Structure formats: C-alpha cells, structure tokens
Structure 1
Amino acid sequence: MKKIISIALAAVILVGISGFVPAFEEKAYADTEGDYTYTVWADKATITNFDSSVSGEITIPSTLGGYPVIAIGKNAFRLCSNLTSIVIPHGVESIGENAFERCTKLASIIIPDSVTAINRNAFLYCKSLTNINIPYSVISIGTYVFDYCDSLTAINVESDNPLYCSEDGILFDKNKTILIRCPEMKTGDYTVPDSVTKIEPHAFSTCNSLENISIPKSVSNIGTSTFYHCNGLLAINVSEQNPAYSSEGEVLFNKNKSTLIQCPGGKAGAYTIPPSVTTITDHAFSYCSALTSITIPDGVTSIADYAFSYCSALTGITIPEGVTSIEDRVFLACTSLNSIVIPKGITNIQFSAFDDCENLTAFVVDEQNTLYSSEDGVLFDKTKSILKLCPIGKSGEYAVPDFVATIGLNAFKGCFKLESIYINDNVATIGMSAFASCTGLKSVRISSNVEIIPNNAFVDCTGLISIVIPEGVTQISYKAFLGCTGLTSVTLPSTLTFIDNNVFEDCISLTSITIPNGVTILDESLFLNCKSLTSVTIPNSVTTIEMSAFEGCESLTSITIPESVTFINSLAFRGCSSLESIIIPDSVKGFGSYAFSNCTGLKSVTLPSGLKSINNGLFLSCTSLERIVLPDSVTTIKPSGFSKCSGLKSIVIPDSVTSISDTAFSSCPADLTIYGNAGSFAQTFATDNGILFVSPASPYDFGVYITSAVYNEEKGRADVSVLIHNAEVQAADLKLNLAIFDSDGRLVKVAVYDVPLSETPGGILDKSISFSYSADTEYCIKAFLWDGFNTLTPVSASDYYDI
C-alpha cells in the first residue's frame, strides 16, 4: 500500500540583489516490493529499508515499482547482519549515511561507476569486509566511512578518479597531499609518503596491527584521534625536519613538545611525560592498556577529554597542581585506579571524569583546595553541603553525612558495589541520575525533606527490591525507576501529585501499586512492560490515562477505572493479555488508537454511554472478546476497530453509527452476527460485507445463557443446558434456537424448541441437538430466543459455547 508523504522543495534563485522563486510542493510516496522499502520522488526510487532477516548474497534491483533506483538511503541496510555479498546496480548515484552500518558478515560489495557520493558512516562496523573498490565516478567520501572495518586490508581507487587515489591500499586525495584512511588490517611498519601535508581525523584509528608509523617533514596537519585505539602501535616517529611535529620516545608531540598529541597504544610499563609538556590532548593515552604508571610533569596545565580513557592497567597517577579542570571522561574505564589525589588548583571536575573506574575507592582532596573537599573517600564541595561524587568502587553501606544538604548530579552513578544508602533528613535536593546504575543497591532510605525525585534518579538499579517514597515528596520525575527489574514493592506518599513519563517502565517484578489521591495523570509509558503487575489502585483524582501507560502489563487481570477519568490515550492497555474484563465509566469521552489492542484475554467490556468513536485498532487482536454492545452515542467505527478479534461472535451496533471502516471487522469469524435495527447503517454495512445481520438488536429484557454443552458419542448428539432469565416479562410464547457451527464458521445443524413460559422464569432447560461429529474439527453451539409468533424476529442476544 502506498503512503503519501509531502516533501516541500524550496527552489531559491537569486534575482539581482534579492527576490525568490516561491517554494513548491511535490508529492512523494513510500512503497514496498519484496524485501525492499523505497520512496519515489520525481519518478526515481530511493531504497529506505531492507528486510534484516535476509541472509547470503543479494543483487539490488535496478528498478523498484518500475522506477529506476538512484540512491541507497540513510540506514537502508543498517543491521542486516546476515548479508555476505551485495551488488549495487548501475544507476545508483548515492550511498547514504550509515547505509550498511553493522552489516557484520558483509565480505564484499560492488559499487558501480554511477555512484558519486559515499556518505558518513556508510560502512561503519562492517567487520568482515576485506577490500573495497572505489570507482572513478565517486567525488565525495564522508567521514568515518570505513571505521571499525576490522578485516579491511585495502581501499582501492580507480586510476581515472578525478578526486581520489590509493597507494598500497590506503586512501588519499588525488594529489596524495591528504591521507584519508588506512585500512584497519594494515600490518607492520608504514611510512607516510613525502607528498602528504595533512592526515585526516581517524585516518589510522583502530589499526591494531600497525607497529610503527613514520611521519615525514611534509606533514603540517594531523587531525584529532588520528591514531586512536591502535592497540599494537609501538612507535610514532616524526622526521626531525618536520616544522610542525616532533617525536620523543616514540610518542607524538607538537614541534616544541609543549603538547603531547598521541602515545602509541602498545606502549607498556611506566612512562614519564617530558617536562616541556603543558597540554595533553584528547585521547592522547586512550587504550594504552599496558601502561601501569604515567608521570605528569608540574608544567602541565591542561588535560583534555578522554586523555587517559581505557588505560586499564594504570594503578596510580598524580595530577599536577597547575591543572585547573578534570575534563569529561578523562579517566574513563581506568579499572585499576584505586585512589586519586585532587590537587589544590582544581576548580572544576566533570561528573563523568571517573566513569567506569570500578575499583576506585577514594578521592583525596588537598586541604588547600578552595572549592572541593573529601571525607571517607567521597568528594564534596568545600563546605561539604554538597555531595559531589562517590567513587564507583565504594562498597557495602553508606550513610550520607548530616552536614550534606544536596546530593549532586550523577553523585553515585554506577556505584555497583553499594548495597545500602541512608539519606539523612537534612538533604533537601537530589540531583538527576544521582543513583543511576547502582546495580547492587538493595535498599535506600530517602530524606523526609526531599520534595522531588529527579529524572533518572534510580534508573537501572536492578538490585533494588523495595522503596518507600517519604511523605512530602510531590513529584517523581522522568524515568526515575526505569529498569529497576528487581523492584517488587513501591510505597507512594499521599503528598504526591505528579508522576512523569516512564517512571516505572520495565520494572518487571513490580506486582502491585497504589496511586495516591492527588495524582491527575497516569503519564506516558508509566508502567510500560511491568510484566508482573497484577493490581493497580487508581484514585478518583486521575483524569487521563496516557499513551502506553499500562502497555505490556501482561499479568494485569483487572483494573478499576474511576469516574474521574475522561480520556484513555493510545496503546494505554495494549498487550495486557491477562485482562479479562473492564468497565469504562461514563466519564470517559474518548480513546486513543489501539488502546486495548492485543488484550488477548479480554472477554467483557462495558463502554461509556457518551462514547463517540471506536478509534483505530481500539480492540485489535482481542481474540477472547466474544460479544460487545456499543452505546447509542457512537457514530463511527474506524479502521481495524475490531480487526483480528477471532472470537467475536456478536456486536450490537446502534442507529447512531453512520460510518464503519471497511477494515473494522477484518479477520473476524465468519459467523459474526451484527445486531441492529432494520434500515440502519449497520444493516447496510453488514449486507455489503457479507456479515449476518439480525434485527432488532436491543434492548433485551431477557436473555439466554448456555451453562454446558457436551457431545454424547453414543447417541450422536450434543446435550445442552440453557439458562433463560427474565422470560416472565414476555407475553408471547418463546422458541429456543440452537445452531452448531464448525471451526471454519460453517453451519452444521439447526434445531428449534418451544419454550413454554411456565418453564422459563429463572429456569434451566435441558435440550439436545443431533449432528455428525468429526474429531478433526472443533464445534461451537449458538443459542438465542425467538418470538413465538414471528420466528424471524430474535428477542434476545445470542450465547455461544465451545463443544
């Protein structure tokens, strides 16, 4: 099916000094053919997606839907991890950003000579790609195109390409003045050609088999992270005649050695930085995993982001007093660091500076530092009123000292060894993500003076079992407890008035919760995928149940919606597969799309009297729903309203309904009966769509229910017990109609019985119906009452029973 998409194309043409051609709009549409999804604009196709389950070799078609394929769009083949070989057809002009990212088994790809552009990250993480040929037509190659292609041995460019060339499998510009990318499987020693003046960022990154690199005097510009993550690199040697760069001890510096640019990743043991150095650049020592000690001279005043990240063997380091700032992730994943001294000159410490330093147990701050202090290995501001950072390796129990008023942003983030935290009542403020990813945390005592639980406060605290939110808290913010998979119990305070989006998402062990009176909105994805949730108490202060609030709560068997609720949004109860019945109060005026879709256990629904519309997919795939009565306020049944309700036997549609989508009952049973009044839109719809229609539909003053139905093999019949209630109000004699249907919805047998009034008030009738039974199929019996004077007029709803 084609989906129309508007694409605004503004053509701006300079006229003299000013003046524009007005913007115009052209229509484009999306379509599918086989495993391909594509868009068409100006009669040309761009591939936007491909079925990621396809494996092996493929040849991309040159046309889709009759339109020539001119582009591989952004992310089109991303994560197609089972593809081994791809042939791109002639006519394709562009390969989009991340087009083949993480095609991890892709060993070969043929790029035609119609391609002019290969965009950013196009082959990122194509770990099996061994070589690639760039045709003469390519005039644009984006950044990081071949990063993390672990098996790439050569990038070969056709000799007549006007902008690029290759030598020894390495990509250059045409004049070999710019070295763009070395393939990651390059081994041994490499000397940069004398013609090169610039080495692009990431040019040698993750070239783990290179051992020595020699840089000639011609190079005047080396990009950032050029030698990043070269784990096997032992030496970077620069020509003494180079005017911009130098080397000493196989380490790369600027010319006067005031800036240390890159230590080779294979350097091991202890290393002392020369005394001339004042600046250590970003990633300078990243992934130097064999370095155990680094001595920084007193003259260093600046250490950039990620400078020592992933130095996993580094056991200690001294920061010189001239350094004023510890930047973002400077010591990321330095897993052997035990403690670190913060000198007196430090005025800024980024909260992420020590992320994933899993054995770091203590910060020690120089007493002369004017902004920071430490106690028991924890970092505070100078006055100790703000707890800034707890070392990730801290273990066991921790009580926040009484002098602390604020717990800072990310203060305990990733402290996976902490089991218990006690927050004293002097604490009034907790920063965002303060306890995020404390996976070993089992219990937390929260200060009674805290009013707001901030964003991501306890996200991914998978060991947390229960928590009591104290009285006084008024707000629980975005994703505060998301992913707390061990959380079974939460006590919320009466003071709470706002619970933000996704707060308890993926709390898969949470079994019950009571929402306090005062909360007005159950926000988006509030309990999304809380798979063990069986009971929720919703107060009468709630007015709205937002999108996906209870989606995927597959253990929820019942829920009471208070009369204060006026709207239930899209997907609110989608996938609540254990929910068997639900009564929607008359206060509810509408539902979002798919609100109860995939509630496969839902058997009974009472809809509000003021409801106007059965929205898109409202009861889609509610496979246990057998009957439903629409209130006489409903005017519209939208697409897929009851689609795939494979158990639906009857529906009462009032005269108020004037619009029913063609797909409203798609994939419903063949024996579905629509009840309504003669001449109604429901009758017209039923007739047009081949659905059985029975009139009148309602009201029913009496009813019929099958209490049991068993096939008697010896007598070749079904013995049926039928309860008839309130029949005493009917003046005429009645007739009971029993009908047998097979699993394909075909009528097998019908029997009609007299029902004398004397037998019916609250009584059970035992009847039988003979038919030929086959063990290869399933049967259902349908029962309803007819007016004894006019056997074409039903006077009760039908009941069904599987035999």
Structure 2
Amino acid sequence: MMCAAVTASAEQVQGDFVYELSEDGKTAVLLQYKGKGGQVKVPDKLGGKPVANIGTNAFRGCKELTELALPEGLTEIGEYAFWYCSGLSAVQWPSTLKKIDGYAFFGCTALTEVKLPDHIQNIGNWAFSGCSNLSAVSLPDSVRIVGSGALDNTAWYNRQPDGNVVIGHCYYKYKGVMPDNYTVTVRENITVVADSAFSDCETLVSVTLPDGLTRLGNSLFFHCKRLFAVTIPDKVTEIGENTFAGCNQLKSVTLPDSAVSVGKNAFADCLTMATVVLPHSLQRIGEDAFVGCPQLYEVIYIGTREEFDRIQMEEGTRKRLEGNLIFAVSSEDITEDSVTHLPTVPEAKRRPVQQQVSNETSGR
C-alpha cells in the first residue's frame, strides 16, 4: 500500500517525493511522500534545492513507514507531518532542526526514544502525544517553547508521579489533582515552562517563577480561578495567548521592563483586575488582551504618550486602555506625583495610585 496525503498547488515530483520551492526559490518544501514505506531517507535536495521543511500532512497516516532519516539543512517539521505513522520506530534527527509543529508525531506508537538535537527551539502542541511506547525523552537546553500536551499520553509521562513534572530544564505541568489553596515554587534551574502547565488548576493561589524565565506560554494559567499572586520575572519578554485568561482573583499585574508582547486574550475575563502596569519596552498587545475586565480602572504606562501610541494593538483594545490610562516616569516609585492622568480617567473610579501599585512594584 502506498502512503499518500493531501497535496498543495505548484507541486513537482522527484522519485517518491512531491515538493514545491519556497517563495524565494532557495529551498524546497516536501509536501507529500508517495512511496511504500519501510526505511525512508529524505533526500538532502529536491529540485536541486536543499530541503528545509517537511510540510503539513506530508507522511500523515503512513503506517508502513518504519525508520526515518531526515537530512541536514532541515529546519522545520510541519503540523501532522507524521501523524499516526504507527510503525515508525526510529528517527535520525538533523542537527539543523529548530521547530517541530503541532501534532507532528502524534500517535506514533512504535517510537520508544526521542533524543532531540542541540539546536531545536520549539516543540508544538501535542507533538508527541499518543506515542504510547515513548519511554525515553531528552530535551536539549536550546528548547525555548514546549507546547500544550506535547508529551501527554506517552510512556514517559504516564510513569511520572502526581505533582510537579519536570524534564531537564523544562517544567512540564502539574499532574493529578492539585490540593486546595496550593502554592507552587518553580525551582531556579528551570528556564522553560510548558504551555498550559497550570491550565484549569482551580485551587492554585500563588506561584513563584524562576528568574531565568523569558516567556509565559499560551494558556499557562488559564482558568486558575483562585490565583491572586504571581510575580512576572524581570527577563520575561513575551506573555502568550490566554496566559491569565479567567484568573478571577488576580487584582493587579506589573509587566517587567523586558516585556515586548502580550498575546491575544492574555488577561481576558480577569473579573477583579484593577491595575495593570505596562513598560515602555512593550511593542505589541494582542486582540482582546484585556476584554472582560470590568474592574480595570488604572492602566499605568511607564513612558510617554508618543511611546504608547507606537504600541501595535487593535482599536478596541486601545480604546479600552486609554479610558483609564495614566503615564508614569519610572516604575521604581509610582506615586501620585510621578504620574500624569489623562483627563478622560474618571475620578470616581480612580483609587490612590500609590496604594494600589507600590506593593506590586516593591516585590520586583
């Protein structure tokens, strides 16, 4: 039986491989494998161009595939690329690989070991989930993003005891039923926390994150309804999508001076949030980042009007923030004397800035 998948337009064929060239014509994207499986070596070049990407669905459902050798120069493996290749037992990884997209090896039940190369940075959602015999996993220090459920339903994950699950430098998730009014301290040698690591942990009240963290991932604290205390480390540059969505008890948050982007719905439905401090380093705020925050009466921006106007955000978010916007000179000592209130901020809705914010900033 031949393996087949959905193909894209502008395709070309070389042997068992359907491919297309990248937009700049410098590399090739493998779109589809049409061979009979067994031991497969993906060629270094297709159409005379180095293979840089394995496309979405390229080997999807190829149960006859047993061993796979990927070429040097490959940088990305697309979504569902080897989805349910249930006979695949061994993969030779190239040192150039940087990204494995979501569901790429989902359901590869014959895989028993994955030792990823040293330069890989991003492992997508559910990338190896359902690899039921995968018992040995190694993540290099280069990994910066681990998606939701990337290692769920594997032999490795199933043998982990309930509680905090860690793999190398990555805090993977809290496993099992969390005790009531629970506090988590993530140890200092951790530099990555996987997306959704604390999602739906409704009894989590406080988290201490390590200083080396640079990203708060997608849905990290999604629906942590009792979470009221979290200090964002000073090196964090990115707040992901839905990171704090539904954190009903989170009353204030201060983004560090390193923060560059806030994702879509990052603080959506934080029903009691009253104060947000935004740094001048901020460049992007995603759609509906603060939607459903009816108590948000103070948005303190550390910078000037010109700097705030340069932040990329959709118009609805801009109007929502500007209705309660305050400019401050410095985050070190936010007081009534160091801020400039916009005339549009209703006095009746504004509490003393020093009372609201000094506790937040003093903990940084």
Under a length normalisation based on structure 2, what TM-score does the superposition of the two structures give? 0.48
Give the number of the structure whose residues are more often strand, by fraction: 1
Question: Which gives a bigger RCO, structure 1 or 2 (Cα 8 Å, sep 6+)?
Answer: 2
User: More helix by proportion, 1 or 2?
Assistant: 2
Structure showing greater radius of gyration is 1
